[in-house]
Structure 1
Amino acid sequence: MKGMRATTNLTKTGIYIVCIFLSVLSIFPFWVMFMNATRSTFEIQQNSIGLVPSKFLLSNWEILQGKTFDPIVGFVNSMLVSTGATLCAVYFSSLTAYALVAYSWKLRQPFFTFIMAVMMIPTQVSGIGFYQFMYRIGWTNSLWPLIIPATATPAMVFFMRQYLMASLSLDIVDSARIDGSREFHTFNRIILPIMKPAMATQAIFTFVFNWNRLFEPLILLTDGDKYTMPIMVSLLRGDIYKTEYGAVYLGLSMTVLPLFIVYFALSKHIIAGVALGALKE
């Protein structure tokens, strides 16, 4: 009996050690980035990995302000794009998945197959056509082309459909219809609360993806007042003589911080979803 307990404790200890190691390994790149934001270019060139903060944070900030990097404009534009795209993608993808699960119609399976086929088309392949279309309707130098197309997100539709098939009982929908509930009322008041863990998970991934988007904003936006944070960071290359790496790391750090806030704000819903799935028979 004692031998079994010792083996169990040893196994738990090994699991904890592996988890701590993986956690440190995940945090390490971000820690180095934050520390380099406080160091000078000379210190970074001498030793690119710094584990303790230095004293050049203010000077890096002054260098950053002297460039095309405007953190307020970039933050507002990126927040508008990421928040708008996330809300559109999560809501309409959930609505599409609900239609694929709760309704029985003739073209349901071909429609789902078409959605899956769209997932196979890379964004770069349709980039030229997308730009030409946005140019013809006058949407270049606008944030709308970065928000509205997010309404159609095939990968999220697939994820939401699989989640609903495992967690939604159609008897609930039938009961709501018998009680006189309209379809959109049923979806908004009954189905969406059931999908909250899945929506929170996809909201994190979608927000991070849209926050880090560079290809589409780079080909659509030429006005500095419309630049997002990734575009501004990509322009932090300095002049032809010298690149201020400390300022670059500071810009990168400012770009990453909102992602941490969004993740920690929604992570509890992901944990709740995992616990719900573990208890579900």
Structure 2
Amino acid sequence: MRENKNMSKKKSLLGMSAILRTRRICVYIILIILTFLCLFPIWTLLVNMTRNNGQIATSFSFWFGNSFFENMKNVFSDDHLPVLSALGNSVVVSVFGSLLCVYFSALTAYAIEVYQFKGREIIFKFILVIMMIPTTISGVGLARMLTNMGQSDMLWPLIIPSIASPVTFFYMKQYMESVLPLEMIEAARIDGAGEFRIFNQMALPIIKPALAVQLIFAFVSNWNNFFIPALLISDNQKKTLPLIIAAVKASDPSSFDMGKVYALIGFAIIPLVIVYLFLSKFIVAGTTEGSVKG
């Protein structure tokens, strides 16, 4: 009787083990498929950067060609494509726009989270309502206003509006609720620290992971921004990289070069990869560090 119970227990354990193994295999298969779907467009871009227009138009290949340097030469030798000036414009807009966006969003979230004042909840809900408004709706009015003010073909109208980012503010507010100790703020005030010093030297180090994440998102958003620059910028020397890429894609079909397009897109992605690699270590390190060490 006892042996029968032991045998049935072993069979049940073996059955559960087989079920878990089957589920694990299914999960791995799904993850492999999702990984392939994510990496396939990137691999296709890298491969087509090394192939010429004729090869891309006539056949598909999983392996690299030998036209990479020719494609890059075509990109930088085209007098109608100021790629280097567009790169500089994109860097200026993205760097300053993302820094202003993250800093002032964190500052606003800090004020809403730490200070107790009348109308605090109303302001918070109002910002959430603004978050629901599509950028395209407000962008058209902004572009018309700036054009009437004679401020088109300038870079600052692409940077300053980045300060107002309800999505970044909301993320910072939620993150501060979970990690920011209000007792530490009160203790710093008792010790005579000013509000900006508390925010810059105590609050910001604590929310470093959130800052790094939002810097990546803000940088990518500013870097890929096409809609607002397309409404405001017509001067070739003030255009950003998305506008240059769009100009290549909209060029004369008789002179259209897919190799050049892929090379330009790949060139435009490089700064995004550098920013991610630079900030990713702060995301990991920030989860184990804070402004207070015991």
For residue 51 of structure 1, what is the amino acid of its counterpart? F
Q: 2:279 aligns with which of 250, 266, 270?
A: 266
For residue 91 of structure 1, what is the amino acid of its counterpart? Y
CA distance change for structure 1 residues 42 and 67 in 2, over 3 Å: closer, same or farther? farther
| Alignment size in residue pairs | 275
Pairing 1:151–2:175 present: no
Percent of aligned positions that are identical? 38
SS in 2 for 1:125: helix
Moved more, 203-212 or 7-16: 7-16
CA distance in 2, matches of 1:150, 1:68: 29
Pairing 1:246–2:259 present: yes
How far residue 149 of structure 1 moved from its aligned partner, in angstroms, is 0.7
CA distance in 1, matches of 2:19, 2:168: 43
CA distance change for structure 1 residues 222 and 210 in 2, over 3 Å: closer, same or farther? same
8 A Cα contact 1:75 1:228, kept in partner = yes
Q: Deviations over 1:143-178 (max 9, x none)?
A: 101111111101111110000011111101000001
Structure 1: gaps spanning 5 or more residues: 277-281
* Matched residue, 2:174: 162
Moved more, 60-69 or 35-44: 60-69
How far residue 67 of structure 1 moved from its aligned partner, in angstroms, is 5.1
* Matched residue, 1:62: 73
SS in 2 for 1:235: helix
For residue 266 of structure 1, what is the amino acid of its counterpart? L
Q: Deviations over 1:164-196 (max 9, x none)?
A: 011111101000001100000000000000110
Q: Deviations over 1:27-65 (max 9, x none)?
A: 210110111111111111112x42211112232233322
Pairing 1:77–2:117 present: no
8 A Cα contact 1:67 1:236, kept in partner = no
CA distance change for structure 1 residues 245 and 67 in 2, over 3 Å: closer, same or farther? farther
8 A Cα contact 1:208 1:259, kept in partner = yes
SS in 2 for 1:34: helix
CA distance in 2, matches of 1:240, 1:22: 35
How far residue 118 of structure 1 moved from its aligned partner, in angstroms, is 0.9
* Matched residue, 1:279: none
CA distance in 1, matches of 2:178, 2:271: 32
Q: TM-score, normalised by structure 1?
A: 0.90
How far residue 250 of structure 1 moved from its aligned partner, in angstroms, is 0.6
For residue 155 of structure 2, what is the amino acid of its counterpart? L
Question: Alpha carbon RMSD of aligned pairs, Å?
Answer: 2.2
8 A Cα contact 1:37 1:57, kept in partner = yes
Q: TM-score, normalised by structure 2?
A: 0.86
